[in-house]
Amino acid sequence: MRTQILTGGALGLAAAVALAVPAGAAASDPADLYVLHAVPDTPVDVYVNGERQLDDFQPAALAGPLELPAGTYSVALTAADAADASAPILGPIDLTLAAGGSYTAVAHLAEAGTPTATLFTNDLSATAAGEGRLTVRHTAAAPAVDILAGGTPVVEDLTNPREAKLDLPAGTVSAAVALAGTTAPVIGPADVPVQDGTSTIVYAWGSADAGNLAVAVQSIGGLGSAPHSVDTGEAGLLDAGSSTAGWVAGGAAAALLLVAGGVARVRTARVQR
């Protein structure tokens, strides 16, 4: 059983994607999909498999997890109230979901500021007892950054749309963010909590030039044991793998990017199915 509490725009997008099930999709082994609209100042209409399913979908809306049959979904974003999907702002984009997988699809800005999209695969592998997982995903129109620990770069040239992650003992660490090739912090340093059995995923989004950088925080609990709960926070296709550097990157974003923008939370409770 699954219960969901979604804000208005997110609920509409959830319904839109769920209604557009691809032909021949399997009924068993569904995929979980989260959807994040992270293009600033751009309300959109959402077309799924050629049909408009959502009108005037607002930035900073996050939906999920949507439980969907495995298959490929074609999604396009147009200007709000467009007559059809013939002139999309973004797409059409094919989202291919494997049975049993967990994904976050993000419409966002590339480093140069143009709209793009990414599909991340969420790592839900079990964490060791007493450990948590931290991930940062760079999806903002902003240059590469270095992550500092004790004033020394431990992650260099983290670029849009890459991610970095690591499992580590629960506790609190200190980290800072600097422009790539420098050591002067532009955000932080700040203390970062690591929670036992929880995957915390942080998205930097928005535009540095426009001064509207913001943060999305998505957390998935219960990785150490089942059942587990899911908290998704409001604010995109590449896996940089696990490393100590990845842990610092995730931690820095989780705490430090909160300075750049507010976080509105959309909470979803999951009961083991």
Which tens digits make up the pLDDT trace of 145-198? 777 666 778 678 889 999 888 787 888 767 666 778 988 776 667 676 789 998
Burial of residue 163, with CB atoms counted within 10 A of its CB: 0-12 exposed, 13-18 middle, 19 or more buried: buried
Spatial separation of the C-alpha atoms in residues 7 and 12, rounded to whole Å: 9
Residue 185 is part of which domain span? 2-270
Spatial separation of the C-alpha atoms in residues 189 and 203, rounded to whole Å: 18
> If pLDDT is split at 50, 70 and 90, which confidence band does 88 have?
very high
pLDDT digits (tens, 9 = 90+) for 5-28: 344 444 555 555 555 666 555 557
Phi, psi of 61 (to 5 degrees): -95, 135
What number is the average pLDDT over the span 229-234? Answer: 47
Greater confidence (136 vs 41) lies with 41
Q: Look up residue 49 and give its amino acid.
A: N
DSSP 30: P
Number of domains present in the structure of the chain? 1
Task: Work out the number of other CB atoms within 10 angstroms of the CB of residue 98.
Answer: 12
The per-residue pLDDT for 21 is 63
Task: Work out the number of other CB atoms within 10 angstroms of the CB of residue 40.
Answer: 19
Residue 41 is encoded by which pair of tokens?
Answer: 């100042």
